[in-house]
Amino acid sequence: MTADYRRLDVRELHRAGVLTPGWSGGWCWYRRGEKVATVNVEVGEASIRLRYEATDRGERKGYDYAVRLARTGCTFGGARPWFLCPCCGRRVAILYGGSVFACRNCRELAYEVQREDGADRLARRADAIRERLGWEVGILNPDGWKPKGMHWRTFWRLKAEHDRLKGGALGAWAKRLGVLGWR
């Protein structure tokens, strides 16, 4: 799954000012406040050079290669940067780490939500409503009340949708566990 890999997102690099030709430095990944990985980046006119070390089949290897950049014009001016995948050449926003940073299709990765079943999807959607209402996430937690400033009509609509999704998820989980039909 995509969450299991280090991501190199061209949008984050662009917002951080890294994609300026001539820029050179390190891009780091952190877990719980501790640095876990670094890649050295050198930016040229139409590409970035990546230098890093990674473990491949138990052996530590150094990698040094260029990833081409493409830019598309925006409606109101400016340009949007894209990576061109080193493996297939597709225009992508995110490359996923490994021995070589490559796109999701080359790595044969799926997003987490693509592997959800119906019950998990219902629970995730109910949790999104709970977040919007300021309630504690988790459909087994007790419901809260209307957030200040929200219209009552909006609150009752969201609560009804939440209750429908919650009931569907709990019913599907009960069926999966074989709880339904017991006496």
User: Per the domain annotation, does 147 fall within a domain?
Assistant: yes
Joined together, the tokens standing for residue 150 give: 């929200």
In the predicted model, is pLDDT for residue 66 greater than 60?
Answer: yes
Q: Are 10 and 42 part of one and the same domain?
A: yes
Residue 57 structural domain: 2-112
* pLDDT tens sequence across 25-63: 999 888 888 888 889 999 999 999 999 887 777 788 888
Q: How does DSSP assign 8-71, residue by residue?
A: EEHHHHHHTTTTSTT-EEEEEEEETTEEEEEEEEEE-SSEEEEEEEEEETTEEEEEEEEEEEEE
Total domains present in the chain: 2
Is 182 part of any domain? no
pTM over 0.85: no
The pLDDT of residue 120 is 86
* Residue 58 covered by a domain: yes
Lowest mean pLDDT among 31-35, 124-128, 175-179: 175-179
Give CA–CA dist 112/2, Å, rounded.
7
Q: Provide the percentage of residues in the chain whose pLDDT is more than 90.
A: 60
Residues 83, 123, single domain; the answer is no
* Residue 183 located in a structural domain: no
Q: Are 65 and 47 in contact (CB under 8 A)?
A: no
* Pair 22, 71 in one domain: yes
Query: Do 106 and 122 belong to one domain?
Result: no
- Identify the domain boundary among 69, 85, 112: 112
Residues 94 and 48 occupy one common structural domain: yes
183: its two tokens: 């006496």
73 part of a folded domain: yes
Summary mean pLDDT of the chain: 89
pLDDT class of 183 with cuts at 50, 70, 90: low
